[in-house]
Copies of this chain bind each other. A is one copy, B any other.
Amino acid sequence: MTEEKDKTPKTIAELGEFGLIDLLTKNIELTQPSTVRGIGDDAAVLENGDKYLLISKDILLEGIHFDMVYQPLTHLGYKAVAINLSDIYAMNGTPTHILVGIGISSRYTLEAVQEIYKGIKLACKRYKVDFIGGDTSSSVQGLIISVTVLGSVDKDKVVYRGVSLPNELLCVSGDLGGAYAGLLILEREKAEFTANPDMQPDLTGNEYVLERFLKPEPRQDIIKIFKDLKIKPTAMIDISDGLASEIKHLCNYSDLGCAIFEDKIPIAKQTYEIAHSFKMDPTVFALNGGEDYELLFTIRQEDYDKIKNIAEISVIGHMNDNDSGINLITKSGSLVKIKAQGWDHLKK
C-alpha cells in the first residue's frame, strides 16, 4: 500500500461533516427538468412558474444541537424554525411553508411537546410561514426535530454561495460570537448547578447573548433592506458554523481568497465582556463560535454607498485572487491565515 492511499479518510470523524457530505453526495445524477440547483447551497432551487422554489431541511438532535438542561422548550421549537428560515434568507428568498418531523421519547410529557409546538407556531406567525405538514413518532431516546422549509424567490434575485469577484466587499449582518458567549454562560451555570443543585442560576445581565443562543432571529430584515436599496449580493451564506467556516465556503465556491479585518468584525459589547471574563479572545468567538445565524455576503464596490450607513450591515473585508488565500488582518496589522474550526460535530 502506498503512502498516498493511506491518506484516504476511513472514518466519519476524519472526514468531518463537509467531507462526509461531499463523499456521500458525489455523482448524484439530476434528471428532473425542474431542478435548477441540488445539494451544495443553503437551499435547493427548483423551477416554480415565473419564480424559483427554495427548499432546505435541518435536523436538531438532543445532546448534539441542544441540551435540555437549559434549553426552554418553546424557544427550542422557535429556534428549529428560525434556523431553517435563515437558509431561505441566505438565498435572498422569502420563506413560505414549513413541515416538522418530531421524535419524542417517553420521558417527554404532553405539556413538553405542546411547549415545543407553541414555539414552532410562534415562529410561523412572526415570519408569516404556513405550517403544512410533518410526522410525529416516538423515539427510543431523546428528542429529534427535523424541519423542512420552503421559500420563494424571483428568478433574477436568487443569490448563491458563488460567484463573487476579486475586490468585491465582504459584509456581515448584525454581530457575531454572541450565541457562543450565551452558550458558555449556560454551560458555566450548568456546571455550577451540577456541583451544587441548590444553587439558583444567575443569568442576569447576559440577556442579549442568551437570546442569541436560545432564540435566534433569522435576518428577514436584511433581505428587505436589499430589496429597498436595490442591492443584489453577488454571493451569500448564513453563519451557522462560525465566520471562519462560512468564509471558507464562500471563497471556495467562487475560487477566490479574501482579506478580513479583525477590527471590522462586529461583536456586541456583552459578547466582548463575556469573552474577557472567560479570558478568551472575542474574535475567536466570532470566527469559530457558530450559531449566530447572521448573513455573510459579498456586494459590488459600487453598492458601498448604499449600505455604508446601515447599522445592521458591516463591511469586514474584501475578496482577493485565489492565490492570496483566506486571511485575517489582525488589529496589530499582522496577517493570519484563517483555518475553519467551525462547529463540526462529526469531526473529533
A301 in the interface (beta carbon within 8 A): no
**Interface code A106-132, partner B: CB below 8 Å = 1, 0 otherwise?**
101110011001000100110011111
User: Cβ of B136 and Cβ of A44 under 8 Å apart?
Assistant: no
A48 in the interface (beta carbon within 8 A): yes
**Interface code A33-63, partner B: CB below 8 Å = 1, 0 otherwise?**
0110111000110101110010111110111
User: Cβ of A64 and Cβ of B136 under 8 Å apart?
Assistant: no
User: Cβ of A132 and Cβ of B58 under 8 Å apart?
Assistant: no
Take A44-B97, A148-B99 as given contacts and tell me if A64 and B10 are in contact as well, using a CB distance cutoff of 8 Å: no
User: Cβ of A135 and Cβ of B58 under 8 Å apart?
Assistant: yes
Bound Cα distance from A38 to B17, whole angstroms? 33
Chain A contact residues: helix, strand, loop or mixed: mixed
A3 in the interface (beta carbon within 8 A): no
User: Cβ of A346 and Cβ of B136 under 8 Å apart?
Assistant: yes
A104 in the interface (beta carbon within 8 A): yes
CB contact list, A1-40 vs B, under 8 A: 9-13, 15, 17, 20-21, 23-25, 28-32, 34-35, 37-39
Pick out which of these stretches binds chain B: A137-145, A229-237, A246-254: A137-145
A103 in the interface (beta carbon within 8 A): yes
User: Cβ of B64 and Cβ of A24 under 8 Å apart?
Assistant: no
Take A44-B99, A59-B101 as given contacts and tell me if A35 and B148 are in contact as well, using a CB distance cutoff of 8 Å: no
Nearest CB of B to A226, in Å: 21
**Contacting residue for A48 out of B48, B128, B144, CB 8 A:** B48
User: Cβ of B53 and Cβ of A48 under 8 Å apart?
Assistant: yes
Taken together, the copies of this chain in the complex come to: 2
User: Cβ of A29 and Cβ of B144 under 8 Å apart?
Assistant: no
Bound Cα distance from A59 to B152, whole angstroms? 25
Nearest CB of B to A221, in Å: 20
Contacts of A34 in B (CB 8 A): 96-97, 152
Minimal Cβ-Cβ distance residue in B for A43: B133
User: Cβ of A24 and Cβ of B113 under 8 Å apart?
Assistant: yes
Minimal Cβ-Cβ distance residue in B for A48: B48
CB contact list, A191-250 vs B, under 8 A: none
User: Cβ of B103 and Cβ of A61 under 8 Å apart?
Assistant: yes
A331 in the interface (beta carbon within 8 A): no
- What are 17 A-B pairs at a CB distance below 8 A? A12-B106, A12-B108, A29-B125, A34-B97, A34-B152, A48-B48, A55-B148, A57-B57, A57-B101, A62-B140, A64-B139, A103-B144, A138-B345, A140-B141, A141-B142, A144-B144, A146-B146
